[in-house]
Amino acid sequence: RKEVEQDPGPFNVPEGATVAFNCTYSNSASQSFFWYRQDCRKEPKLLMSVYSSGNEDGRFTAQLNRASQYISLLIRDSKLSDSATYLCVVNMGSGGFKTIFGAGTRLFVKA
């Protein structure tokens, strides 16, 4: 079983739609959680951290469920510019030095 698993998609949605991605992790000792965004042929960039209480950044909402070991990302009012691959990321290990990336979920937003 992979340490971090995501549905690869692709998700094809119209502009203005709401779309949700889920991610599961296997190590219950995982310490911190993030969503990254990667555009085609570019490096991954941090989208947002994920906190236990849930957090929101504009149209983006992230949730963490430690009991079930999953993380979610909700995108409201999708824009064409949201088209990208979204990576679920988990820090684990002593001091959180070990970072595990999910394989990513591909999103296409169409006009």
Partner 1 sequence: NAGVTQTPKFRVLKTGQSMTLLCAQDMNHEYMYWYRQDPGMGLRLIHYSVGEGTTAKGEVPDGYNVSRLKKQNFLLGLESAAPSQTSVYFCASRVAGAQETQYFGPGTRLLVL
Q: Return the residue of 1, 40, 81, 97 that touches partner 1, per CB under 8 A.
A: 97
Single out the residue of 27, 34, 63, 68 nearest to residue 48, CA to CA. 34
In Å, how far from its chain's centre is CA 2? 16
Q: Return the residue of 34, 63, 73, 78 that touches partner 1, per CB under 8 A.
A: 34
Least Å distance, CB 62 to partner 1, is 13
Residue 70 contacts partner 1 per CB under 8 A: no
By the 8 A CB rule, do 32 and 46 touch? no
How far CA 51 is from CA of 73, 89, 100, in Å, comes to 12, 13, 17
Q: Return the residue of 37, 104, 107, 109 that touches partner 1, per CB under 8 A.
A: 104
Question: What's at 105, amino acid-wise?
Answer: T
Stretch that binds partner 1, among 10-18, 59-67, 68-76, 87-95 (CB under 8 A): 87-95
Binding site for partner 1 (CB under 8 A): 8, 31-32, 34, 42-46, 49, 87, 89, 91, 95-104
